[in-house]
Amino acid sequence: MNTLEVSNLKKTFRLSKKQQKIEKTNIKLKVAVNDLSFTAYPGEIFGLLGPNGAGKTTCLRAISTLIKPDEGDIIVGGSSVKNDSISVRGKIGFLTSELKLEDHFTPNYLYTYFSRLHGIEEEIIEERKIVFFEKFGIEEFKEVKVGDLSTGMKQKVSIAISLVHNPDFIIFDEPTNGLDVLTARSVMDYLIELKESGKTVILSTHILSVVDKLCDRVGIIINGKMKICDTLENVLKTSPNNDLEEIFFDLVKEEELSGGVN
Amino acid sequence: MKNVLTIFKKEFYRVMSDRRLVFTAILLPGLAIYVMYTFIGSAIGNEYEDITEHTMIIYTENMPAEIENFLDTQEINPEFYDYNSSNHEELEAQILAGEVDMLIIFSETFEDDVDNLIVSDILIYYNPGKKYSEYTFSVIANALHSYANVIGLDRYGDSYYAFTLDSEVIMDEEKAAGQGFAMLLPMLIIMFLFSGAMSIGPDSIAGEKERGTIATLLITPVKRSEIAIGKVLSLSVISMFSATSSFIGIMLSLPNLTSGSGGTLDVFIYGISDYIYLFAVLLATVLVIVGLISVISAYAKTIKEASMLILPFYFISMALGISTMFSGEASNDLWIYFTPIYSSVNMIIAILTFDISITAFIITISTSLVYVTIFIYILNKLFQSERIMFQK
């Protein structure tokens, strides 16, 4: 029941003239993900890998219900993103660089605000807030406006806010992007904590060393299609040198030769 | 409902906790109107005083003493100088430059002509391009007409007049006073309601899209309709604050504005019930305006685009306000009260002129609520549209 199951997901976007110009193409429809399937289980970190534009973010946006699948479905803890999106949104904690916090507000205000929108009782809000703010070192900055915080602190506040409702499913898109080594490390440590507490974690990244360190299972998406999806151990076995980077490059090269990668 | 309240509070707090925004969106409109109108009123008053207290420099030729005496009885302040025909061109240049206000030339035989019933000609030189000269002309011409009437009456007695005209004024003084407000206020009120909503609406929705904060809200388990209602309600309340500030500014400054030109407008002619009616109409109107601005802001990609798209509607609403400015009377056609904003303009006039129809009032309020419901429905659909919410 606590699995996150992506089944035959297909999502197509209509390209605006501006986007056609940027991508130097005359094609009006772009298939972002095609027939994508994978399952993430509780107590594991599922790494979603792929080059830029491979379809990782589209997949995560579909899981978070920001966009609707054209075909296929995503079942999050028994709820379908197609038929029960509100329930799905209550079960997931989603973090992506696309989601911003309003500069005018303080971490303290935003934490309470988003907690209330998740229907959490005031007492629990305060309890959780103390724990999170202590853990991420936000306490000192809780009354500083988000616009005045450093990039690292903003990211920590975003993580805290994405988890206000203690979700069972955590979806983080490039969570260490733009962070210094220390902050990145604390984020990675926290992901391990979440996994150990039995949460289902999906991590999208293009930093292969992060995948090596954190992920239990890996899915590599190239050109909107799942090229490989298995435990990290099994994936590494497909390379003579047990090198994820080598595997990744081989898959990209293979797709290029078949004319798939732009 | 709880989520609506949470979103309402947050949107409200966003504006109210920003001192600069509170000042520019709420306090400044009222303050600016008060200062502006009071300044204009004072400027008009000073100008009026300046003209009436000006010493008229009048050159005369052959002016009979009797006329000079007659002019002395009028409330004017002339100084007469003798005309010398050899300096005529120089005098014309002085009138053109505004140094001399008027030249009056009577014929040498003016008094004899009057006595012998011969029509005599008075020649006046003046410059309508100069305020003192124009005022001097209007005052002297009026005085001379009065003097002509005095002569006519001396000559012919009462038979000089073909008829006399008496009038009995039958009017509701309060209604007549209200008409003064009814001509000025509707356009200003609609303008201020619109500009108040414009100053915060695009930032609250298009701004959130532009800054990428809307997605953070959209992934919470809150219905899109609750987000729409919460935003529209909070924007409406803030816009009402802005409009109230403007309204107070107008009401306090109108007496200052009109007193400058000798007029009087008394803001205390209205009772509590009139203000309650007015408040209800303003609230209904602001909901419609905020609903419209919210829909446009949700559709637009950026604050700038939203502001551009809202402008035509702003001009249309101003035109609707102006269209009733000259009549100062509310329409009796009931269908008018089904038209958004135009219904409010007419209802405001009806309230201000003590001519309110309860049927029209109910139609105005009900239809405004229907319009805002439609706007919230559209806003809800726009929030659900990934193409609209995340278009690049």
Residues B226 and B263 in one domain: yes
Interface test with A, best of B3, B15, B220 (most A CBs within 10 A): B220
Closest CA to A184 of A201, A161, A205: A205
User: Which residues does chain A have within 8 Å of residue B216's beta carbon, measured at their own beta carbons?
Assistant: 99-101, 114, 161
| Alpha-carbon gap, residue A57 to A184, rounded angstroms | 20
| Alpha-carbon gap, residue B323 to B167, rounded angstroms | 31
Residue type, B345: V
Residues B379 and B310 in one domain: yes
Instruction: Output the pLDDT for position B260.
Output: 61
Q: Is residue B341 left, alpha or beta, with left meaning phi > 0 and alpha meaning psi from -120 to 50?
A: left
Residue of higher predicted confidence among A262 and A241: A241
Question: Is pLDDT above 50 for A262?
Answer: no
What is the chain B residue with the closest CA to A100? B213
Return the bridge partners of B123, or none: B105
Which of B208, B220, B389 lies at the smallest CB-CB distance from A89?
A: B220
Residues B67 and B140 in one domain: yes
A197-251 tens-digit pLDDT: 999 999 998 888 888 888 999 999 988 889 889 998 888 888 777 788 888 888 8
Cβ within 8 Å, pair A67-B213: no
CA A205 from centroid of its chain's CA atoms: 8
**For chain B, which residues lie within 8 Å of any Cβ of chain A, measuring from their own Cβ?**
2-3, 6-7, 10, 13-14, 17-18, 208, 211-213, 215-223, 386-387, 389-392
B310 and B291 Cβ atoms separated by less than 8 Å: no
Residue of higher predicted confidence among B243 and A108: A108
Question: Is pLDDT above 60 for A71?
Answer: yes
Instruction: Output the pLDDT for position B58.
Output: 93
Given pLDDT bands bounded at 50, 70 and 90, which one contains residue B263?
A: low
CATH number for the domain spanning B123: value is 3.40.190
Interface test with A, best of B209, B219, B223, B383 (most A CBs within 10 A): B219
Q: Whole domain around residue B132: which residue ranges?
A: 54-160
**Count of pairs with CB atoms under 8 A, one residue in A, one in B:** 69
Question: Is pLDDT above 90 for A155?
Answer: no
Cβ within 8 Å, pair B213-A101: yes
Mean pLDDT of chain B: 87
The residue out of B108, B135, B160 marking a domain boundary is: B160
Residues B195 and B248 in one domain: yes
Question: Is residue B213 a part of any domain in this protein?
Answer: yes
Residues B156 and B195 in one domain: no
- CA distances B357 to A218, B274, B298, B345, Å, are 72, 12, 36, 14
User: Which residues does chain B have within 8 Å of residue A111's beta carbon, measured at their own beta carbons?
Assistant: none
Residues B121 and B187 in one domain: no
- B169 class by beta-carbon count within 10 Å (0-12 exposed, 13-18 middle, 19+ buried): exposed
- Output the CA angle A172-A33-A155, nearest 5 degrees: 15
- Pair of tokens at residue A156: 């920590």
Cβ within 8 Å, pair A66-B392: no
Question: Is residue B156 a part of any domain in this protein?
Answer: yes
Residues B136 and B268 in one domain: no
User: Which residues does chain B have within 8 Å of residue A118's beta carbon, measured at their own beta carbons?
Assistant: 220-221
Min distance A212 CA to chain B CA atoms (Å): 29
Q: What is the ipTM of this complex?
A: 0.86
Residues B122 and B207 in one domain: no
Question: Is residue B165 a part of any domain in this protein?
Answer: no
A66 and A59 Cβ atoms separated by less than 8 Å: no
| Alpha-carbon gap, residue B312 to B306, rounded angstroms | 11
Rounded to the nearest 10 degrees, how much is the dihedral formed by the CA atoms of B85, B89, B91, B92? 130
Residue type, B128: P
| Alpha-carbon gap, residue B30 to B278, rounded angstroms | 18
> In chain B, what is the straight-line distance between the N-terminal and C-terminal CA atoms, in Å?
32
Kindly state whether A242 is in contact with chain B, defined as any CB-CB distance less than 8 angstroms: no
Residues B10 and B144 in one domain: no
Residues B311 and B255 in one domain: yes
Residue of higher predicted confidence among B264 and B255: B255
Residues B35 and B180 in one domain: yes
- A186 class by beta-carbon count within 10 Å (0-12 exposed, 13-18 middle, 19+ buried): middle
- Output the CA angle B142-B132-B93, nearest 5 degrees: 110
Closest CA to B238 of B276, B189, B204: B204
What are the backbone angles phi and psi of residue A174, rounded to the nearest 5°? 45, 60
How many domains does one find in chain B? 2
Question: Is pLDDT above 90 for A111?
Answer: yes
Residues B179 and B213 in one domain: yes
Rounded to the nearest 10 degrees, how much is the dihedral formed by the CA atoms of A120, A122, A125, A129? 160
User: Which residues does chain B have within 8 Å of residue A103's beta carbon, measured at their own beta carbons?
Assistant: 211
Question: Is residue B167 a part of any domain in this protein?
Answer: no
What is the chain B residue with the closest CA to A85? B221
Instruction: Output the pLDDT for position B211.
Output: 85
Cβ-proximal residues to B179 (8 Å cutoff; 6+ apart), any chain: B328, B329, B352, B353
